[in-house]
Amino acid sequence: MSLLLTMHHEKKNYLLYLHIAPLLCWAFDVLTTLYAINYLGVAGEMNPLGWPLGAWGALMFYVPAILFTYLLLSKIKNRYSSWIAALITIISLGLGAMNLLAGLHNIGIASLYL
- Dist CA 42 CA 30 (whole Å): 15
Whether residue 3 is contained in a domain is answered as no
Whether residue 65 is contained in a domain is answered as yes
pLDDT digits (tens, 9 = 90+) for 14-45: 888 999 999 999 999 888 888 887 777 776 66
- Dist CA 76 CA 85 (whole Å): 11
Whether residue 91 is contained in a domain is answered as yes
Spell out the SS3 assignment of 3-41: CCCCCCHHHHHHHHHCCHHHHHHHHHHHHHHHHHHHHHC
- Dist CA 31 CA 38 (whole Å): 10
Whether residue 17 is contained in a domain is answered as yes
Domain that holds residue 69: 9-112
Ranges of residues in the chain whose predicted pLDDT is under 70: 1-10, 43-51, 113-114
Whether residue 4 is contained in a domain is answered as no
Phi first, then psi, for residue 57 (nearest 5°) are -60, -45
Whether residue 27 is contained in a domain is answered as yes
Whether residue 39 is contained in a domain is answered as yes
